[in-house]
Amino acid sequence: MVERNAYLDGLFGSLADPIRRDILRRLMNAQFTVSQIAESYDISLAAVAKHLNVLEKATLVIKQRRGKEQVVSISPEALKDASQYLAQYEALWNYRFDALDTVLREEKS
Amino acid sequence: MSNKATVTAKPGESTIQIERVFDAPREKFYRVVTNKELIPKWWTGPGYDVRCEEMDVREGGKWRHVQTMPDGTEFAFFGVYHEIAPNERIIQSFEFSGLPERGHVILEKMELEDVEGGKTKLKVTQAFFSAADRDGMLQSGMEKGLQSTYDTLDKVLAEEE
């Protein structure tokens, strides 16, 4: 069995769909109604709604009814995961830099 | 006491910034990080070894570091030096051999600044072609087995399509 590689998954995996990735990117910065999101793409409202359903099922976005409209926002879980990626990458660099500190101490000035 | 690196990656953008202060003057810091013999001692990570196969620190020169994972798998990180300004700045390309296709190259800029008390601030900027490439790189640091958003999405997609 081939070992799954998180890096490859990220690059070529599930968020490969450009529209879903783009919707998620927009929601990182603001909330939008379903129709506002639909206006940005050359696909039907129904197709956009389908993408949003997928993202909602994956717990990446949350939909809330506000009056006649549904407002879509990024889910805390998605943001938590994003910050986890960053924390792991930060941990790798701290590991390297701590090793570099040791090397610097050992080397003559 | 050890300093802590700050890593910044704004949502939707395609760069990563890494900053850290080291307790060594710029000249010494530069000499150490450009020393081929010292790469295995620090350009590493938890649970794997690194060897430096090539490190020709001059403009147009190549670099290549190889990671050996505990199961014997090897991955190479490699690139070409674009600009070498000793003690000040290095700009280099950066690519990872473990991808199924070429073309996901990073441009990496390393800048050094004096900090009071004979210290040096290192600023690294990594520029990716896209936010997708960048987020993939961030995920490479994920611990194995961590249930990721993308795994969850995979499952949903498998059910949907």
Predicted model pTM: 0.67
Residue A18, pLDDT > 90, answer: no
ipTM of the complex: 0.78
Residue B1 lies in a domain: no
Which of B99, B119, B103 is closest to B29 using CA atoms?
B119
Contact A100/A85 with Cβ under 8 angstroms?
Answer: no
More confident site: B61 or A17:
B61
Let me know if residue B35 belongs to a domain. Answer: yes
The DSSP result for B86-117, as a single string, is TTTEEEEEEEETTSSSS---EEEEEEEEEETT
Three-state DSSP string of A31-68: CEEHHHHHHCCCCCHHHHHHHHHHHHHCCCEEEEEECC
Taking only residues 45 to 84 of chain B, the set having a beta carbon closer than 8 angstroms to any beta carbon of chain A reads 45-46, 73
d(C-alpha A79, C-alpha B118), whole Å: 39
- Domain containing residue B67: 6-160
The pLDDT value given to residue B142: 42
Per-residue confidence band for B158, with pLDDT thresholds at 50, 70 and 90: low
B11/A82 CB distance under 8 A:
yes
Residue with the two structure tokens 């072609």: B129
- Coarse DSSP helix, strand, coil percentages of chain B, rounded to the nearest 5 percent: 20, 40, 35
So where are chain A's domains?
15-74, 75-109
CATH class of the domain at A15-74 = mainly alpha
pLDDT for position A16: 54
Closest Cβ–Cβ partner in B104, B141, B152 for A91: B141
CB of A88 less than 8 A from some CB of B: yes
pLDDT at A7: 39
Query: Between B23 and B155, whose confidence is greater?
Result: B23
Q: Which of B3, B38, B96 is closest, CB to CB, to A103?
A: B38
Q: Report, as an integer, the average pLDDT of B18-34.
A: 92
B38·A28 Cβ contact <8 A: no
Judged by a CB distance cut-off of 8 A, whether residue A57 touches chain B is yes
Name the A residues in 60-79 with CB < 8 Å from any B CB.
Answer: 60, 77-78
Contact B38, A106 (CB under 8 A): no
More confident residue, A36 or B9: A36
Q: What is the pLDDT of residues B28-80, one digit of tens each?
A: 999 999 999 999 999 988 778 899 999 999 999 999 999 988 888 898 999 99
B32–A57 CB contact, under 8 Å: no
What CATH number does the domain containing B10 carry?
Answer: 3.30.530.20
Q: Which residue of B has its CA nearest to A30?
A: B11
Q: Into how many domains does chain B fold?
A: 1
> How many whole angstroms separate alpha carbon A85 and alpha carbon A91?
10
Let me know if residue B136 belongs to a domain: yes
pLDDT of residue B2: 53
- Per-residue pLDDT at A81: 64
